[in-house]
Amino acid sequence: MKEIIKSIVTSPGYWAIIIPALVAVITFYFTKRHEMNSEWQQQKLNHYKVLLSSLSDLAVDNSNKEAKTKFALASNTIALVAPQSVILSLMAFHDYLKSPRQDKSPNEHDVLLKTLLLEIRKDIGLSKKDNIKTFDFHLIK
C-alpha cells in the first residue's frame, strides 16, 4: 500500500492536478474575501452618507422633528457598523447638539464635527494623514 501511495505522490501527473487545484482554491478564497470586504466597505460608506445627510438636514432646521428622527436612525445604525472611535466621536457630537446650554460655542461644535469626520475618513480608509489642526469643514446649509 505504501508503494502505491509513494508512486502516486511522486508521479508528475499527480502534481499536475494537485498544484493547479490548490492555486484555484486559494485564488477563489482570496477573491471572495476581497469581494466581501469591498461590499462591506460600500455598505458602511452608504451608512455614513445617510448620517452626513441627516446632519445636513439638522443644520438647515434643528427644530425639524423629521430631521431629528432621521439623525437618530442614522446614528443608531452607525453603531452597528462603525468602529468605537467613530461611535465615541458621534456620541460627543450628539451630546453637544442635545445640550440645553445657551452658551454653546460654535468653535466647540466645529471641533466635534471635524473629529467625527476625521474618524469616519480614517475608518473608510480615505486618508490616514488627515490632521485636525489643518482639516477644515463646516456643514453647508
Distance CA 82, CA 124 (A): 10
Q: Is the dihedral of CA 27, 28, 30, 34 positive or negative?
A: positive
- What is the predicted pLDDT for the residue at 58? 82
The band of 16, judged by pLDDT with boundaries at 50, 70 and 90, is confident
Distance CA 65, CA 107 (A): 25
C-alpha cell at 135: 482639516
- What is the predicted pLDDT for the residue at 78? 94
- What is the predicted pLDDT for the residue at 117? 94
Distance CA 70, CA 79 (A): 15
Of the ranges 52-61, 93-102, 118-127, the best mean pLDDT one: 118-127
Find the DSSP H helices in 1-141: 2-9, 12-60, 65-81, 84-98, 106-123
Phi, psi angle pair for 5, to nearest 5°: -65, -45
- What is the predicted pLDDT for the residue at 13? 85
- What is the predicted pLDDT for the residue at 103? 75
11: alpha, beta or left? (left if phi > 0; alpha if psi -120 to 50): beta
Q: Contact 137/53 with Cβ under 8 angstroms? A: no
Query: What is the rounded average pLDDT of the residues 117-133?
Result: 86
Distance CA 19, CA 116 (A): 49
| In the block, residue with C-alpha cell 445636513 | 56
C-alpha cell at 52: 452626513
0.85 exceeded by pTM: no
- What is the predicted pLDDT for the residue at 5? 83
Domain residue limits, the chain: 2-123
The band of 33, judged by pLDDT with boundaries at 50, 70 and 90, is very high
pLDDT tens-place string over residues 58-110 = 877 777 888 889 999 999 999 999 999 999 999 999 998 887 777 777 788 88
